[in-house]
Chains A and B, each alone.
Chain A
Amino acid sequence: MGLKRNVSLSAGLRYKGPAGYLTYILHRIGGLGMAIFITTHILASFVGGRTGGVFNGIYENWAFQVFIFFCVLFHAINGLRITILDLFPKLLDYQKEAIWIEWAVFIPLYGISVLVILSTAL
């Protein structure tokens, strides 16, 4: 507590660390995206009526589905990597390899999801 770090938000966003930075920032964007989406989704369902209908229209839009599926799938798959590596710290030496495996799982799964969403929507 009372920690002073003097790093501004813009400096934090411009930071380019070694391998893992991309997954770190995408994990954060995915988590934030989901938190905002789920909060508004629950509130919209709770309020219902015309206000809720406006939000449901946004959620059913294919562009939004493509975005939120990215958030959810990336956060889930990257989170599994973090969990496995953190619970078995010896594996942390293979961080780079784990990230490659992660992309190998994420790209096909997300690609198929996007194809399905687009083929039903368009």
Chain B
Amino acid sequence: MTTKRTLSIKQRGLTNFEAIMWIFTRLSALGMYALILLAVIGALIMGARNQMNLADVMRWGFMPNVTHVQSTDVPDLDLWASPFWKLTASALLLVAVAHGVHGLVVIADDYIAGEGGRKIVRLLSIVMMISMSGIGLYLIWTS
């Protein structure tokens, strides 16, 4: 019998920021799955089965913004531009930006080990997170 190599989440502890972001990355992935499934099911209810191909449905699913269905055979775009979908898209955007920017920080940390460099990376990540969230929200609510 080999020694136990794994620890439960409780035993590992969530005591610092990086550990909290570690669990956030996992939970936000599940959250994005839920939002994407919601968007795909909504698309099927709104008639995507006859009017869109698989790739178009996925494009809508990954960001349920009305501009993503403009090039398809969908006759009535108003349904796809409802506040419900704008809220869903906003939620997906905010979760995805947080998940993605933290992912970039993790990658940068593999190559930038110095303390000063890591501080710059974190500063840049905060700037990127705020600007991308802002521009994205603006685009969703004005499209």
A residues engaging B (CB < 8 A)? 1-5, 9, 12, 28, 31-32, 34-35, 38-39, 42-43, 45-46, 65, 69, 72, 76, 79-80, 82-83, 86-87, 89-90, 92-93, 112-113, 116-117, 120
Contact = CB atoms under 8 A, between A and B. Distances in A.
A46 B107 contact: no
Contacts of B67: 45
B55 A113 contact: yes
Contacts of B141: none
Given A12-B110, A83-B29, A116-B55, A42 B135 contact: yes
Contacts of A76: 33
Q: Which of B8, B96, B139 has the most CB of A within 10 A?
A: B139
Interface of B: 5-9, 26, 29-30, 33, 53-55, 58, 62, 67, 96, 100-101, 103-104, 107, 110-111, 113-115, 118, 128, 132, 135-136, 138-139
A4 B113 contact: yes
Main secondary structure of the interface of A (DSSP, over half): helix
Main secondary structure of the interface of B (DSSP, over half): helix
A112 B54 CA distance: 8
Nearest to A117: B55
A38 B100 contact: yes
Q: Which of B5, B54, B67, B107 has the most CB of A within 10 A?
A: B54
A42 B111 contact: no
Contact of B58 (A42, A80, A113): A113
Q: Which of B6, B67, B96, B128 has the most CB of A within 10 A?
A: B6
Given A35-B100, A87-B26, A93 B6 contact: yes
A29 to B, nearest CB: 10
B55 A42 contact: no
Contact of A42 (B29, B103, B132): B132
Nearest to B33: A80
